[in-house]
Homo-oligomer: A and B are copies of this chain.
Amino acid sequence: MTEQTNQTDTPGAKPDLSSEEATRHRAKMEKRKAVQDAEVAGKTIEKGLLMVHTGPGKGKSTAAFGLALRTLGSGGRVGVVQFIKGAWHSAERDAFAAFGERVVWHSMGDGFTWETQDLARDKASARRAWDKALELMADPAITLLVLDELNIALRYDYLPEAEVVAALANRRDGLHVVVTGRNARPSLVAAADLVTEMGLVKHHFAAGVKAQKGIEF
């Protein structure tokens, strides 16, 4: 990676700012910094987080994989279980190959339910995926577990919601879990530490742009 970090001194032309304006800005920012510092000081708990990425917008799985990347950058290990995706190829999976044994990846799905058209098969696949998730949750080497599209499996009742949410809530100390997919169940939201709703403001699919390599897959 080519790196560059610019900071500290900034020689050269300064924008036109009166010293009065600069003083006002400094005073305002000093106050703001004091508030920020107090807020940070008030947060002392460290814990494994249960995180949920839901909503109709793009970025639910992508942010989960970004989090996986951050975990890898800080020396951790990542488990991924995909509940819906199975056969199809994904570029992020290829990228994670760069991290060797530090990523354990299981694509356990059979594809979307309108592809399989077989509910019994969908349920059996979801159960196998959940068993794999339980196995990884018990593995002390794993720092972060990504349960990709688990929300879809719960929404379609492929898995017993109460059992799944209880197991996630009772995960071992220090384990971070991210669950992705639209329509997160309220009981999962209640059990979670962090819930982000990806809202769709504007999507290029609506303008006739197709799914593209490197962006959608």
What residues of chain A have their CB less than 8 Å away from a CB belonging to chain B? 1-8, 10, 12-15, 17, 21-22, 25-26, 29-30, 32-33, 36, 40, 42-47, 49, 52-55, 57-59, 61-67, 69-76, 86-87, 90-121, 123-125, 128-129, 143-144, 176, 189, 192-205, 207-215, 217
A95-B114 in contact given A107-B5, A195-B202, A204-B194 (Cβ < 8 Å): no
Q: A196 and B204 in contact (CB under 8 A), knowing A59-B59, A118-B26, A119-B25?
A: no
Contact indicator A6/B92 (Cβ below 8 Å): no
Residue of B nearest to A96 (CB): B1
The answer on a CB contact under 8 Å between B198 and A202 is no
Q: Which residue of B lies closest to A36 (CB)?
A: B114
Task: Name A209's contact: one of B1, B45, B110, B113 (CB within 8 Å).
Answer: B45
In whole Å, how far is A75's beta carbon from the nearest beta carbon of chain B? 8
Interface of A is mostly: mixed
Q: What distance in Å separates the Cβ of A188 from its nearest Cβ neighbour in chain B?
A: 11
The answer to whether A117 touches B25 (Cβ under 8 A) is yes
Given contacts A17-B120, A21-B119, A62-B63, contact A201 B197 (CB under 8 A): yes
* Residues in B whose Cβ lies below 8 Å from that of A195: 201-202
Q: Are A73 and B93 in contact (CB under 8 A)?
A: yes
